[in-house]
Amino acid sequence: MPDQEKPNPFCVLRLPTGSTLAEIVARGEDLHQIAENKEQAMLIHWATEQLKSNPETRLEYELLELPDTRYENEEWENFARKQRRKPITLAALAKESQPTPTQQVNMPVLLQSLLKLAQKVEKADIESVLDHAPCVPECTTPAMEEWNVISELIS
């Protein structure tokens, strides 16, 4: 029975469930050499022993591991390596771009172009949209009169 307190050995060694015994041993040795502390080295040794010592125990761990789990994504790593760039700092970006002084902005021309743009916007024809609606909404509340609105504002 697998130990419930420890992670799946395939997860510890970052190997797929179809790994051979040679791959398990090689990965165990590689990870053991770069282990950061004694606990991590002991966990790697435990995971390697669990998978190589007893075929029944390995089968149990294989069944408990998610199908088609890949701990290494070579496509992503290749993409990240090719697309890696030096990070842009705010100071470097500020050096390269010069802000436009407000004296260089021609305010009358800017306002005139904004007003022309505002005049070009046509009024929406909502009545034609409502007349050709695919379904007519049912209004269950009565229409409000002016005195209803005024009384709501006063109270």
Q: What is the mean pLDDT of residues 28-34?
A: 91
Q: What is the DSSP letter of 72?
A: -
Task: For residue 133, name the pLDDT band (cuts at 50, 70, 90).
Answer: confident
pLDDT for 79: 79
Instruction: Domain of residue 49: give its range.
Output: 1-89
Residue 29 forms part of a structural domain: yes
If you average pLDDT over residues 55-59, what whole number do you get? Answer: 87
Domain count, the chain: 1
Does residue 34 form part of some domain? yes
Q: Are 11 and 71 in contact (CB under 8 A)?
A: yes
CATH of the domain at 76: 1.10.287
Average pLDDT over residues 46-52: 92
Q: Is residue 138 part of a domain?
A: no
Alpha carbon distance 76, 8 (integer Å): 24
Q: Is residue 129 a part of any domain in this protein?
A: no
Domain assignment of residue 107, yes or no: no
Angle at CA 70, nearest 5°, toward 67 and 76? Answer: 140
Question: 73-90 in b/e burial notation, b at 16+ Cβ within 10 A?
Answer: eeeeeeeeeeeeeeeeee
Judge whether residue 49 has pLDDT over 90: yes
Kindly state whether residue 39 falls inside one of the protein's structural domains. Answer: yes
pTM of this structure: 0.46
Q: Where does the pLDDT of residue 39 fall: very low under 50, low under 70, confident under 90, or very high at 90 and above?
A: very high
Asked, for residue 121, whether it belongs to a domain, the answer is no
Q: Please check the confidence at residue 103 and state whether its pLDDT lies above 70.
A: no
In a domain, 153, yes or no: no
